[in-house]
Amino acid sequence: MFLYALTILVSAFLLFQVQPVIAKIILPWFGGSAAVWTTCLLFFQLVLLLGYLYSHALVRYLKPRAQMVVHVALLLASTLALPIYPNLSWKPAAPNDPIWRILGLLAVTVGLPYFALATTGPLLQAWYARRRQGAIPYRLYALSNAGSMFALLSYPVLFEPVFTTHQQAVNWSFAYGAFLLLCGLTAFRSGNSPAGEPETETEGAARPGRKLYVQWLLLPACASALLLAVTSHLTQNMAAIPLLWVLPLSIYLLSFILCFERAGWYRRNPYILLLGLALAVMAYATFGSDAAILPIQVGIPVFLVGLFICCMVCHGELARLKPHPRYLTHFYLTVSAGGALGGLLVALAAPLLFNAYYELPIGLLATAALALTALRLRRDAPWQRHLLPASRYLLALAGFAAAGYAAYSWQDAIASPLRTVAGWLGWEVSDAFNRWALAREFLLVAIVLLTVLRGDLKFRWARRTRRWVAFLAELSALLLAGYVGFETHYANSGTRLIVRNFYNVLRVHDWDPPTAWAATRSLTDGTINHGEQFLNPTRRDSPTTYFGPNSGIGLAIRAKQKTGPIRVGIIGLGTGTIASYGRMGDYFRYYEINPLVLSLSRPEPATASTQFTFLADCKARHEVVMGDGRLSLEREAPENFDVLAVDAFSSESVPVHLLTHEAMELFFRHLKPDGILAVNISNRFVDLEPVVDGECRALGKIDRLVDTDGDESQDLNAATWVLVTSPANGFDPLILDGSAEIKPGRKIRLWTDDYSNLFQILR
């Protein structure tokens, strides 16, 4: 038992340790988008499925000794991929959709070792069950998930802060070599076991039916889809950092551990009730009026706890459906197929089918529907008969919370036709409607509570109790569906354009009537505004948002324009706002990785999707280079920029590869000796000031901090920029008057292409 447990534990640790390692290495190559991690997760789920399919076929069709020979050959072949550091030739040369390139890179770099590790859990459990007839191997599955979770949680704490990415890859490769010896020994002992005879039909091993296979498939598919959807939501709106990648995955694995370690960890009574509350809270946190400004200290726990409850229900119901060990590989193969199905739906199908991030609301509704289906298919009479009245009130409260908020949100939608009809009749109904709306909400409370009370009064009859419990559960699910549907429609109402691709979802929205003096058009990605333009012709060339005249980039360009025509480089196009500073004789060169952004700001030829005119109105000569800004600069000869602006944030995610020591050296290679590097470090969740200041000092440069407040009248947002230049020339008095020295703060290790640690600069 010990040898099997140790081998499974080590394989699970390596299986999930390699995921953040390889993802962090390739993240800078593909623009730093959170979608890189989603694509990596999809790859790992698909290879896991192939590993389980291999294990199933090996156990079913080969004799024990043949199983040993084939598996040892696979282990030896996997050493050809070591060490697992990807070749630089995989860096993209064009800004095309990189999903297939990422999948190909992962297949060549870690495909064979990951496949070999993926086969270990189910294969060794099957061998253990064969050696010890009657033994139940599912606790080994819980042990496997425990090793996986430790690998994920230890990465940002023990490995990322200490080792460079090269060291991480090499250390993992050595550890994999140790695993090969351990697994080879286990395979040898299993293949030469006297108990290794072909299995016969075991008494009580009932063959699973089709409905059971469907549940084995859909329950993990729902949990997997929610995992990716929640991860995307957090990383798109907070930061694309390993911490926010590994936490949801760790929660997902923890639910597997608890549900498969022993039956007592999952009980329907509390978890089904908590599920209703979790779904309602997550829906509100996604769509509510305060969702866009939800602080990180609240947002992360809300979604992680909600994900944990949803996964506990999905995996708990799955654990209740475990088959006899004879069908163990059938079970694991179907479960892994479900996980891969959820990943395919979120990572591949959703970007093709949807123009916005609808995966999370759909996942919430699917979880509610699947939980109801599981209750109907496998009725648990004791659970329903002994349900406490207080628990029923809790379920009703969860449903009423969604209903009350939906009723409040729908007031305007209902009031508008009522006021129209009243206007025709000459009635004034504003106050009456408000009173009716309040009465309606109290009426909903009364209906729900009376329904529960009626169920309590008839608690002695189990059949009626089950009926009312089912009614309340279905009512809550319907209310959740109504709320999610309405809020999804409301979130998109008034939006001029919504487009989506691998990199992000972009929304164009008009604020106020076009003829109004303050009317603007905005471009947003997640919760972040990437630029706005006044619609009034007399104001549309005014710099807005983070690029006002007194912002860091505004001061840098204005100071350099004192000397004559200038050359300006900008990493990150957005709406093209910086082009508003262009004059005759100037040259502005943009670097943009997302083709959709260019289509929204393209000056010539104008297309139906062109929404902003900063580039079209720019008096300076300008060009847009498509591709990752850093990779493009690496391929170009020195551009001799007077100013180089780095503003390449995708939502709140941090472009780490643009803030390393090597990146700074590259930027100054493209700047004139007296040129200014302007870095936008505005961010709600991470403090980038010590990072840029440390890079500046390492290069022997000087820097200034430009921190400006917002001004609604001029459509300016609060912005923080760091300006860096050579000490020999210093800063123009215009910059000195509008900036401040960077005060010594927290000391952090110098960021390089091989090392970065966002965990230490979280606010």
Whether residue 600 is found in the same domain as residue 686: yes
So what's the pLDDT on residue 474?
63
So what's the pLDDT on residue 189?
75
Question: Cα–Cα distance between 59 and 122 in angstroms, integer?
Answer: 10
Sign of the CA dihedral 665, 105, 351, 341? negative
- pLDDT band for position 106 (cuts 50, 70, 90): very high
Q: What percent of the chain clears pLDDT 90, i.e. is strictly above it?
A: 23
Q: Is the pLDDT of residue 386 over 50?
A: no
- pLDDT band for position 437 (cuts 50, 70, 90): very low
What is the average per-residue pLDDT within 602-627? Answer: 82
Q: Is residue 535 part of a domain?
A: no
DSSP 637-671: PP--EEEEEE---BTTB--GGGSSHHHHHHHHHSE
Q: Is the pLDDT of residue 587 over 90?
A: yes
Question: Cα–Cα distance between 619 and 33 in angstroms, integer?
Answer: 32
Span of 67-76, 220-229, 459-468, 668-677 with lowest mean pLDDT: 459-468
So what's the pLDDT on residue 549?
94
What is the average per-residue pLDDT within 728-739? Answer: 90
Whether residue 445 is found in the same domain as residue 326: no
Whether residue 598 is found in the same domain as residue 710: yes
Q: Is the pLDDT of residue 191 over 70?
A: no
Q: Is residue 537 part of a domain?
A: no
Q: Is the pLDDT of residue 229 over 70?
A: yes
Q: Is residue 385 part of a domain?
A: no
User: Which comes out higher in pLDDT, residue 349 or 141?
Assistant: 349
In tens, the pLDDT along 477-507 reads 666 766 677 666 666 666 888 888 877 788 8
Q: Is the pLDDT of residue 167 over 60?
A: yes
Whether residue 333 is found in the same domain as residue 421: no
Span of 118-127, 209-218, 346-355, 411-420 with lowest mean pLDDT: 411-420
Q: Is the pLDDT of residue 693 over 60?
A: yes
Q: Is residue 529 part of a domain?
A: no
- pLDDT band for position 187 (cuts 50, 70, 90): confident
Whether residue 583 is found in the same domain as residue 604: yes
In tens, the pLDDT along 67-97 reads 888 888 999 999 998 888 988 888 877 666 6
So what's the pLDDT on residue 41?
82
Span of 104-113, 272-281, 530-539, 637-646 with lowest mean pLDDT: 272-281
Q: Is the pLDDT of residue 195 over 50?
A: no
What is the average per-residue pLDDT within 463-478? Answer: 59
The CATH number given to whatever domain includes residue 611 is 3.40.50.150
Q: Is the pLDDT of residue 743 over 50?
A: yes
Last-in-domain residue among 493, 517, 540: 493
Q: What percent of the chain clears pLDDT 70, i.e. is strictly above it?
A: 74
Last-in-domain residue among 164, 196, 228: 196
Question: Cα–Cα distance between 662 and 655 in angstroms, integer?
Answer: 14
In tens, the pLDDT along 325-370 reads 677 778 878 888 888 888 888 888 888 888 778 888 888 888 888 8
In tens, the pLDDT along 17-56 reads 898 889 888 887 876 666 787 788 889 888 988 888 888 8
- pLDDT band for position 687 (cuts 50, 70, 90): confident
Whether residue 190 is found in the same domain as residue 234: no
Contacts of 360 (CB under 8 A, 6+ apart): 226, 229, 230, 232, 233, 282, 286
Q: Is the pLDDT of residue 406 over 70?
A: no
Distances (CA, A) of 610 to 55, 500, 575, 578, 600: 53, 15, 10, 17, 4
Instruction: For residue 313, give both structure tokens.
Output: 């229900």
User: Which comes out higher in pLDDT, residue 421 or 590?
Assistant: 590
So what's the pLDDT on residue 94?
67
DSSP 624-645: EEES-HHHHHHHSPP--EEEEE
Whether residue 401 is found in the same domain as residue 343: no
So what's the pLDDT on residue 31?
67
So what's the pLDDT on residue 466?
54
Whether residue 121 is found in the same domain as residue 21: yes
Beta strands 671-680 and 719-725, pairing class = antiparallel
So what's the pLDDT on residue 212?
85
In tens, the pLDDT along 632-682 reads 898 899 999 999 999 876 545 567 788 889 999 999 999 999 999 999 988
Angle between helix 242-261 and 138-154 (nearest 10)? 160
Q: Is the pLDDT of residue 576 over 80?
A: yes
Contact 627, 31 (CB under 8 A): no
Whether residue 5 is found in the same domain as residue 104: yes
Contact 572, 646 (CB under 8 A): yes
Q: Is residue 703 part of a domain?
A: yes
| Mean model confidence pLDDT for the chain | 78
- pLDDT band for position 264 (cuts 50, 70, 90): low
The CATH number given to whatever domain includes residue 166 is 1.20.1250
Q: Is the pLDDT of residue 556 over 90?
A: yes
- pLDDT band for position 623 (cuts 50, 70, 90): very high
Tell me which residue range forms the domain holding 483: 395-493
- pLDDT band for position 439 (cuts 50, 70, 90): very low
Span of 522-536, 575-589, 630-644 with lowest mean pLDDT: 522-536
So what's the pLDDT on residue 1?
66
Whether residue 579 is found in the same domain as residue 458: no
Structural domain count of the chain: 4
Q: Is the pLDDT of residue 753 over 50?
A: yes
Helix (H) or strand (E) holding 4, with range, is helix 2-26
So what's the pLDDT on residue 20?
86
Contacts of 509 (CB under 8 A, 6+ apart): 494, 495, 496, 521, 522, 524
Whether residue 181 is found in the same domain as residue 212: no
So what's the pLDDT on residue 585?
94
Q: Is residue 655 part of a domain?
A: yes
- pLDDT band for position 151 (cuts 50, 70, 90): confident
Q: Is the pLDDT of residue 462 over 60?
A: no
3 state DSSP class of 539: coil
Q: Is the pLDDT of residue 453 over 80?
A: no
Question: Cα–Cα distance between 469 and 447 in angstroms, integer?
Answer: 15
Q: Is residue 388 part of a domain?
A: no
Whether residue 370 is found in the same domain as residue 399: no
Span of 63-67, 449-453, 508-512, 556-560 with lowest mean pLDDT: 449-453
Sign of the CA dihedral 606, 608, 609, 612? positive
Q: Is residue 109 part of a domain?
A: yes
